[in-house]
Amino acid sequence: MTQQAPARKATNVVWHHATVTREKRQQQNGHKSVLLWFTGLSGSGKSTLAHAVEEQLHQRGGRTFVLDGDNVRHGLCSDLGFSDQDRVENVRRVGEMAKLFLEAGTITMTAFISPFVKDRERVRKLFPHGDFLEIYCRCPVEVCEERDVKGLYKRARAGEIPHFTGISSPYEEPYAPELVVDTAALDLEQSAQQVLDLLRQRGIIRAD
């Protein structure tokens, strides 16, 4: 069961409106900014796919950045564990940070398990319609466990990792994601192509 995100405690603060706007940055970059929220089980290929898409966009001259789940927990979210409450806060922080990247005109990709529908929908509501694109990396837990690149499933089965999604903690599939990528059946190139096609269809990047 998810918890409510903390209320804002800061008082006597006023939003400062910049003269260099998101629109100006997008025009300079030659593409629109957007958040691609990759979600799925550990081992489903979220990070690999996000970085493959970034590489393709970078080669086109795009302004990009990947917020990876493990990397963020080395800094911004290093004080959080993996309880339900900490997962809520982890996703909240990433959502707020992604908003800043969008204002910078960047195509931002997040690779987080983000197991709870309610939390992902809470982040979606932070963004104007069309700025949050949920990409579900669909892969059966059996396949993810076979890959087990980091050895996490084995440790979770042994009881060494509590609250492990797919084993001792649930994963809630998206109801209506903008894209479902079957990472168990498609290779990396095919998966990345599906994401790039989505960006073209949405007018985020120009058609080749």
* pLDDT per residue rounded down to tens, the chain (208 residues): 444 555 556 666 655 677 788 889 898 899 999 999 999 999 999 999 999 999 999 999 999 999 987 787 777 778 877 777 888 888 888 899 999 999 999 999 999 888 999 999 999 999 999 999 999 999 999 999 998 878 888 999 988 998 889 898 899 999 999 999 999 999 999 999 999 999 999 999 988 6
CA distance 3 to 136: 23
CA distance 150 to 28: 40
pLDDT, position 80: 79
pLDDT, position 77: 78
pTM: 0.87
Matching residue, tokens 């998206």? 174
Report how far Cα 53 is from the mean position of its chain's Cα atoms: 13
Closest to 65 in 3D by CA, of 103, 22, 91, 15: 103
CA distance 115 to 145: 17
pLDDT, position 3: 46
Phi first, then psi: give them for residue 73, nearest 5 degrees: -75, -5
CA distance 54 to 15: 31
Task: Spell out the domain ranges in the chain.
Answer: 30-201
CA distance 62 to 57: 5
Residue 44 is a catalytic residue: no
Residue 33 burial by CB count (10 A; 0-12/13-18/19+): exposed, middle or buried? Answer: buried
- 114, 168, 169, 191: which one is catalytic? 114
- For domain 30-201, give the CATH superfamily: P-loop containing nucleotide triphosphate hydrolases (3.40.50.300)
Matching residue, tokens 């997040």? 110
Residue 128, token pair as written in the block = 């104007």
DSSP assignment of 51-65: HHHHHHHHHTT--EE
